Amino acid sequence: MTADPKTIAVDIDDTLNNFTEVLRELPVPDDDPHGLSPEVLRDYVEKIRAGVPDSGALLSTDYSFLRFRMHHRVYERAAARPEAVAFMQWLRAEGWRIVICTQRDLRRSFGGTKAWLAANGIPFDHLFSAANKIVFCRAWGIARLIDDDPFTIAHGAGYGVQVYFPVLPKHRGVLATGARGFTAFEQLKPWIQS
């Protein structure tokens, strides 16, 4: 598929908002319906805050359920970055087709995600969930992606996807082969137009 030069995919969490910051500060849930011991609950919360995926072979576990509940609370509380909102509005004014591409489980959080984007004035044309955003962008002919995921940063260029990422502490040691890190969304404007 030929890439559309005026289409861009943009991630939400830790790109347009302060997801990790809110997750770190989120209190440990005190209404656990599964009856986990306080020790197990604390262990799970620390793993969730560290971004540890569920290691079980089951599709649904106590850990994955707690992870979703905590993430859902963060989705509601995370603050949009004002300069990210201004950039997204600039994209719309410049005639870009905007694809929001997130790893969120949109089967359970589509309505809340859509409402959050609208409440923060973030324009978009499409909203998709994708575990591997490189494959998603290749399949949909999207040549530009703004994302904070270290895997995407390291491998996007090798598959013809130009990745731009907000430079965050978690990117120390990430080999950004062909990806471009930014400290302000304003930097992206000349980069994406070339």
Domain co-membership, 160 together with 183? yes
What DSSP letter does each residue of 93-122 carry, written as one string? Answer: HTT-EEEEEE-S-HHHHHHHHHHHHHHTT-
Domain co-membership, 84 together with 132? yes
H helical segments located in the chain? 19-25, 38-49, 62-77, 82-93, 106-119, 133-140, 150-155, 188-193
State the average pLDDT over residues 80-88. 98
pLDDT at 172 over 90: no
Q: How far apart are CA 44 and CA 38, in angstroms?
A: 10
Number of separate domains in the chain: 2
Which of 77, 101, 124 is where one domain is finished?
77
* Each residue's pLDDT tens digit, 34-82: 678 888 888 888 999 988 887 766 667 888 888 888 888 999 999 999 9
Mapped onto helix, strand or coil, the DSSP state of residue 37 is coil
Q: For residue 102, is it within any domain?
A: yes
Domain co-membership, 47 together with 131? no
Domain co-membership, 88 together with 24? no
The residue range of the domain holding 71 is: 20-77
Domain co-membership, 28 together with 49? yes
Better pLDDT: 37 or 162: 162
Domain co-membership, 28 together with 52? yes
